[in-house]
Amino acid sequence: MAIKITGVGSYIPTIVTPNQSFLKNKFYNEDGSRFNADNEIIIKKFKSITGIEERRYVENHLNNSDIGAIASQRAIEDSKVNPEDLDYIILAQNYGDVKHGTHQSDTVPSIATRVKQKLGIKNPKSVAYDVMFGCPGWIESMKQAYAFIKAEMAEKCLVVGSETLSRVVDPNDRDSMIFSDGAGAVVLEKTNDEGGILAYESATYAYEEANYIFFDESFNKEKTDGTRYIKMLGRKIYEFALNNVPNAMKSCLEKANVDIKDVKKILIHQANEKMDEAIVDRFYKLYDMEMPKNIMPMSINMLGNSSVATIPTLLDLILKGKFENHSIQEGDVIIFASVGAGMNINAIVYKV
């Protein structure tokens, strides 16, 4: 028996927002002072660090639960399962449904419950709930679904990562250029095949690191309405990720009893191109190896950072043959890895 992904789906929003869209933004420092550089210089430096050239935003009439449902429907169709047979619908998200023109999060009922309703699933034994675990939420949801199936508490699970970060960003904060919207989903089920999830690793660092990503008021001190936006301590996150994610990946690979030379792809959370490259490079250096070429597909340049959606979206694009110069074949060993608010870290070793 193996616990495997039998269907994948994603929703990539239609509104393309290039870096030039931020040329008229007024950027401030944390203390409220104007940032002392032209926006053209800010954007050029931003591109060189993050790799982001453009990102995607949802249309005004769509909410997080809408795009989560679209990705889910595509994964269900790809898997050919009857949606009424899904034992669990586990949806990773962090900010709920935030309607266009507002910044208020709506999380009751859960986003997973709303997705279930939008899918038209009537079976009350199809249990739907949300996971809030920062950007690593989708991997953590996969781990939970795996545990349910392994314990024979379920046979088929829908695992979704969906987020609309464009609705919780501060336009006066340079970090607003990082975030984007999107949704990805998979069906995970018990099969008679070989492979599937071989090992997993998770950790929460909260003693000093809990508030590296947080909610706070705008950097523009003229805004006094109390609205709060996503904020982060970029340098601390970068250092934390480099010091901890490679070791978590190594531990996971050792649990799976897989030789690093057998790893074909590493699908890492699309957070920051330089940071991701440094993480994977340091991971291989733990084995006294150079990072192989073409090991790490990157979608952040065109899709930005859509939090929990980045890995399942990337997986869907590759498996559907929509990602240039990258492919995943049956029997390949791949690693999923992520880092984010918590500060949380996790990884999965998976054999296709």
Quick: pLDDT tens for 283-323: 999 999 999 999 999 999 999 999 999 999 999 999 999 99
Residue 212 maps to which CATH number?
3.40.47.10
User: What is the value of pTM for the model shown?
Assistant: 0.95
pLDDT at 241: 97
For the stretch 191-243, pLDDT in tens is 999 999 999 999 999 999 999 999 999 999 988 888 999 999 999 999 999 99
For the stretch 136-167, pLDDT in tens is 999 999 999 999 999 999 999 999 999 999 99
Q: Are residues 38 and 175 in the same domain?
A: yes
Domain end point (choices 194, 229, 245) = 194
Tell me: cis bond preceding 291? Omega within 30 of 0 counts: no
Q: Are residues 21 and 168 in the same domain?
A: yes
pLDDT at 205: 98
Q: Which two tokens stand for residue 24?
A: 């008229």
Q: Structural domain of residue 297, as residue ranges?
A: 198-351
User: How many domains is the chain partitioned into structurally?
Assistant: 2
For the residues 235-252, what does the mean pLDDT come to? Answer: 97
| CA–CA separation, 336 and 200 (whole Å) | 9
For the residues 261-285, what does the mean pLDDT come to? Answer: 97
Q: Are residues 230 and 125 in the same domain?
A: no
Q: Are residues 217 and 323 in the same domain?
A: yes
pLDDT at 341: 96
Indicate the angle between helix axes 64-79 and 310-319, nearest 10 degrees: 40
Percent of the chain whose predicted confidence (pLDDT) is above 70: 100
Q: Are residues 243 and 288 in the same domain?
A: yes
- What pLDDT band is residue 104 in, cutting at 50, 70 and 90? confident
Q: Give residue 81's Cα distance to chain centre.
A: 24
Q: Are residues 160 and 208 in the same domain?
A: no
